[in-house]
Amino acid sequence: MCSSDLEFMTRVGKEPCLCNKDVPGFIGNRLQHALWREAISIVENGIADAETVDIAIKNSFGLRLPQLSALENADMVGLDLTLNIHNYLLPYIEDSHHPSPLLEKLNAEEKIGFKTNQGFYKWTDEEKKKKTEDLNTYLIKMLYKK
């Protein structure tokens, strides 16, 4: 992406992100899937069920992410505390370089989410429609202040 692309995206109301290296997944997908890997691992290891994991994300750190992202938060609490937490916690966080066996099992059973009405959750057509509508409403509100 060149500077004219960044300028164009800014002019049309977007917030472009410049990735300094061409890597698989770029920035957003890498961060998203790191979170997903840990969330799936928590369910797979019986630490919590899918609904509890999602509630924890939505009602704890997820609330502040639009205002205070990960690295801003680390600076705010102090990199010394962040380092101490990492020294303690990172050995317990999922670091597999392969897909979760639970994810592979669900796929093998054709429990692939909205497409089959079952994944980590069971979905009715009405629930899928409502979830999609609620997401679209939320995103429009957040992006366009409407």
> Cβ(12)–Cβ(19) under 8 Å?
no
- Listed in sequence order, the residues at least 6 apart from 100 whose beta carbon sits closer than 8 Å to its beta carbon are 37, 40, 41, 44
State the CATH number of the domain containing residue 33: 1.10.1040.10
Please indicate whether residue 15 or residue 81 has the higher confidence score (pLDDT): 81
My answer on whether 115 and 68 are in the same domain is no
Q: Number of structural domains, the chain? A: 2
Q: What pTM does this model have? A: 0.88
My answer on whether 132 and 69 are in the same domain is no
My answer on whether 21 and 68 are in the same domain is yes
Q: Residue 15: what pLDDT?
A: 84
My answer on whether 43 and 80 are in the same domain is yes
Give CA–CA dist 26/33, Å, rounded. Answer: 11
| Each residue's pLDDT tens digit, 98-144 | 999 999 999 999 999 999 999 999 999 999 999 999 999 999 998 88
Three-class DSSP category at 122? strand
> Cβ(83)–Cβ(74) under 8 Å?
no
Give CA–CA dist 86/108, Å, rounded. Answer: 35
Q: Which domain holds residue 121?
A: 109-146
My answer on whether 29 and 101 are in the same domain is yes
My answer on whether 39 and 84 are in the same domain is yes
Please give the structure tokens belonging to residue 69: 């992202």
Q: Residue 1: what pLDDT?
A: 61
| Each residue's pLDDT tens digit, 22-68 | 999 999 999 999 999 999 999 999 999 999 999 999 999 999 998 99
My answer on whether 15 and 57 are in the same domain is yes
Three-class DSSP category at 66? coil
Over 80: is that where the pLDDT of 146 sits?
A: no
